[in-house]
Amino acid sequence: MGHPPHREVNKSIRAFFDERAANWDDMVCPQHAERLKTMVAALGLSDGGRVLDVGAGNGVLVPFLAAKARFVVELDISRRMLCEGRARSVGEKVAFLQADVLDLPIAPAAFDVVICNSCFPHFSDQRRAIAEMARVLDTGGRLVVCHTQSRECINTHHRRAGGTVGGHELPPDDEMRALVTGAGLSVAEFSNGPGGYCLIGRNQR
């Protein structure tokens, strides 16, 4: 029996980000980190939470998440992205895990917050990704899918880039809501506009 089809697709996605990891910061705008700081502050994370940063990249969210969390797991499919993150984030609170969001090697209900910034369009099976992230959320926990730009800007950006990421899109709002509720979460917040994109799903089971 062969591997599931997403494993093959994800090899090319991993290669794409591995190749860009060393220069990733040169590719994002200088205001990016400041916008992320504001975005994470608006989430009102409670003290002592267990946070999973999915598609964590080079760890840009670590300073903002670790300030409040009991611990943060930085998870990414790209080993080189994680190496960049590890080089700049130290501290006992932060762990690094190379894994695919579609097959999370994590026990159910292990986290209070799962945050997925600027990476959801890249997931080759978005239904499965949401189901996996919902599975590892504890009761009352929140799944945050966010971007510092609107859905339209993100989708246009990927379309223009073409190649590996050419078809990587955030789905329309009704589709996204259906994915979240289909995974057993309720939609607690949803915004999309020039200030960014943020969907928060809550596990009320």
Binding site for ligand SAM (CB under 6 A): 10, 13, 17, 55-57, 60, 76-78, 81, 100-102, 117-119, 122-123
Quickly tell me which residue has 């910034």 as its tokens: 117
The residue (of 27 and 174) whose beta carbon lies closer to ligand SAM is 27
Q: How long a stretch of residues is the chain?
A: 205
- In the complex, the smallest distance separating the C-beta of residue 204 from ligand SAM, rounded to whole angstroms, is 26
The residue (of 68 and 168) whose beta carbon lies closer to ligand SAM is 168
Nearest to 132 by CA among 140, 44, 124: 124
Bridge partners, residue 155, by sequence:
none
- In the complex, the smallest distance separating the C-beta of residue 44 from ligand SAM, rounded to whole angstroms, is 19
- In the complex, the smallest distance separating the C-beta of residue 75 from ligand SAM, rounded to whole angstroms, is 6
- In the complex, the smallest distance separating the C-beta of residue 64 from ligand SAM, rounded to whole angstroms, is 11
Phi, psi of 83 (to 5 degrees): -65, -40
The residue (of 81 and 145) whose beta carbon lies closer to ligand SAM is 81
- In the complex, the smallest distance separating the C-beta of residue 114 from ligand SAM, rounded to whole angstroms, is 12
Cα separation, 172 vs 10, in Å, equals 23
- In the complex, the smallest distance separating the C-beta of residue 122 from ligand SAM, rounded to whole angstroms, is 4
- Tokens describing residue 137: 């959320």
Phi, psi of 159 (to 5 degrees): -60, -45
Q: Is 32 exposed, middle or buried (0-12, 13-18, 19+ CB in 10 A)?
A: middle
DSSP 143: E
The residue (of 114 and 180) whose beta carbon lies closer to ligand SAM is 114
The residue (of 43 and 102) whose beta carbon lies closer to ligand SAM is 102
The residue (of 140 and 147) whose beta carbon lies closer to ligand SAM is 147
